[in-house]
C-alpha cells in the first residue's frame, strides 16, 4: 500500500499550527467562534450519553486525579475511545477543548465554548469515554481535557490528551475504523455491486475509496485510523457490508476497535476487540461488523469486478516489507 499524505485543513488552520509551533499566539479575531459541538458531536461513557452545556467546565476543587490514554490522531467523522483511570471512585465525567492549546483565548471570539458532562450508572475507578467527531473539523490540532467527580463530591484536576486531526473524505457514506494500539487492523467495505474496497483494492467502480490506511504490515505510522467514503450523490442504493480484519497483532496482546458508519443522516457505532496473531487476510477476510442499506442514489451496476485476485498479502508485503 502506498502511504498517502493528507492535508490537515485549509490554509488558515495551517497558519495557526505554524504560529503555535513557533510559540506565537494566534489572533482570535481572525477565526470564527467555536463550540465544543463543532469538534465533538457526541460523547458517551459506559453506554451513558453525555450532554453538552455552554460556558466553562466546573473548576477543579480537590476531587480524584485521573490518567487519560487514547490515540493522538483523529479523523473528521471518526471516533476516539479514551480510557480514564481514577485515583478514587467517580460517577461523573467532564470534557472540554482547551482553546488556549491552539493559540486561542478561551471565552473570547475564536475560543471553544462549552463542555460535556456525562453521568455514569454507578461509581467506578475506570471508564472508557467514546467521542464522535464532526465530519468537518475546524482545527488541525486541539487539546481535550477530562476530569471526574462523584455526584456529591468535588471535581478532580483536569488531565489533557493532545490530538492531531487528519482530514479524510466524507460524503453520502463514510465508514471509519479506529483502534487503540499499534497493530495492523484493516477495514473492508463491500458495495451493492459486490465490489470490495480494502487495502489491495482502494477504489471501486461505484466511486467508493479507501483514503486512509494505517500501520500496514506493521510498518507503524501510529495513525490507527482507516476510512472508506463515497462522494455526495455517488453512493449507489442497495446493501453494503462492513468487515474488520485483524491482519497482524504487531506484537501487542489485544486490540480494541471502533467502527462508525455514517449513512446520510443515520449513524451507528460498533465496538469490539481482537486477540491472537492475526490472519494476514486479503479479499473476503475479516469479522462481520454489519450491513446497512441506502435507499437513494444511482442504481447498482452488474459489472465485472476490477479487484485483484487474492493477492492481498503479497501486495501488502511489497508495499511495506
For residue range 111-142, list pLDDT tens digits in order: 789 999 999 999 999 999 999 999 999 889 99
| Residue 23 CB partners (closer than 8 Å, separation 6+) | none
Nearest in space to 199 (alpha carbons), one of 33, 23, 43, 3: 3
pLDDT of residue 6: 29
φ and ψ of 88, to 5 deg: -165, 170
Say how many C-beta atoms besides its own lie within 10 A of residue 159's C-beta.
Answer: 19
pLDDT of residue 321: 42
β-partners of residue 147 are: 94
How far CA 246 is from CA of 84, 98, 136, 187, 203, in Å, comes to 25, 35, 29, 9, 21
Model confidence pLDDT, tens digit, residues 244-289: 999 999 999 999 999 999 999 999 999 999 999 999 999 999 999 9
CA distance 200 to 314: 9
Q: What is the pTM of this model?
A: 0.84
* More confident site: 310 or 17: 310
Q: What is the CATH number of domain 11-166?
A: 2.60.40.10
Confidence of residue 316 (pLDDT cuts 50, 70, 90): low
Nearest in space to 60 (alpha carbons), one of 179, 134, 160: 160
pLDDT of residue 152: 80
Pair 25, 6: CB distance under 8 Å: no
CA distance 227 to 197: 10
What value does the mean pLDDT take over residues 79-98?
95
How far CA 19 is from CA of 23, 74, 137, 299, in Å, comes to 6, 21, 19, 48
* Domain residue limits, the chain: 11-166, 173-319
How far CA 37 is from CA of 87, 110, 112, 135, 183, in Å, comes to 29, 14, 9, 11, 30
Lowest mean pLDDT among 12-21, 191-200, 231-240: 12-21
Lowest mean pLDDT among 91-95, 156-160, 193-197, 300-304: 300-304
- Mean per-residue pLDDT over the chain, rounded: 85
Pair 79, 133: CB distance under 8 Å: yes
Confidence of residue 151 (pLDDT cuts 50, 70, 90): confident
Question: Could you tell me the sign of the dihedral formed by the alpha carbons of 216, 218, 221, 222, in that order?
Answer: positive
Question: Could you tell me the sign of the dihedral formed by the alpha carbons of 137, 138, 143, 144, in that order?
Answer: negative
pLDDT of residue 319: 58
Does residue 98 carry a pLDDT above 70?
Answer: yes
Lowest mean pLDDT among 1-5, 30-34, 79-83, 159-163: 1-5
Q: Where are the alpha helices (DSSP H) in 205-278?
A: none
β-partners of residue 179 are: 257
Amino acid at each position: 500500500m502506498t502511504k498517502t499524505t493528507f492535508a490537515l485543513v485549509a490554509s488558515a488552520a495551517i497558519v495557526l499550527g505554524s504560529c503555535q509551533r513557533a510559540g506565537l499566539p494566534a489572533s482570535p479575531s481572525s477565526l470564527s467562534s467555536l463550540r465544543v459541538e463543532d469538534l465533538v458531536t457526541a460523547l458517551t461513557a459506559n453506554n451513558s450519553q453525555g450532554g453538552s452545556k455552554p460556558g466553562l467546565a466546573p473548576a477543579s476543587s480537590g476531587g480524584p486525579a485521573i490518567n487519560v490514554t487514547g490515540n493522538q490522531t483523529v479523523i473528521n467523522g471518526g471516533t476516539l475511545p479514551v480510557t480514564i483511570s481514577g485515583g478514587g471512585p467517580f460517577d461523573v465525567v467532564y470534557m472540554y477543548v482547551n482553546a488556549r492549546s491552539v493559540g486561542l483565548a478561551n471565552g473570547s471570539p475564536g475560543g471553544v465554548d462549552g463542555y460535556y458532562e456525562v453521568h455514569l450508572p454507578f461509581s467506578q475507578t475506570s471508564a472508557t469515554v467514546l467521542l464522535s467527531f464532526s465530519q468537518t473539523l475546524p482545527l488541525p490540532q486541539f487539546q481535550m481535557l477530562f476530569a471526574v467527580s462523584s455526584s456529591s463530591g468535588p471535581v478532580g484536576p483536569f488531565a489533557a490528551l493532545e490530538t492531531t486531526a487528519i482530514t479524510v473524505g466524507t460524503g453520502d457514506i463514510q465508514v471509519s475504523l479506529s483502534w487503540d494500539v499499534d497493530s495492523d487492523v484493516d477495514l473492508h467495505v463491500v458495495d451493492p455491486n459486490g465490489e470490495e474496497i480494502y487495502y489491495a483494492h482502494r477504489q471501486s467502480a461505484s466511486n467508493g475509496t479507501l483514503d486512509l490506511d494505517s500501520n500496514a504490515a506493521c510498518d507503524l505510522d501510529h495513525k490507527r485510523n482507516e476510512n472508506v467514503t463515497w462522494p455526495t450523490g455517488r453512493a449507489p442504493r442497495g446493501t453494503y457490508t462492513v468487515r474488520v480484519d485483524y491482519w497482524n497483532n504487531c506484537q501487542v496482546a489485544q486490540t480494541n476497535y471502533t467502527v462508525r458508519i455514517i449513512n446520510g443522516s443515520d449513524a451507528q457505532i460498533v465496538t469490539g476487540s481482537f486477540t491472537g496473531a492475526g490472519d494476514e487476510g486479503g479479499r473476503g477476510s475479516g469479522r462481520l461488523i454489519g450491513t446497512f442499506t441506502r435507499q437513494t442514489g444511482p442504481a447498482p451496476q452488474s459489472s465485472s469486478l476490477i479487484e485483484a485476485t487474492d493477492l492481498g498479502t503479497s501486495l501488502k508485503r511489497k508495499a511495506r516489507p
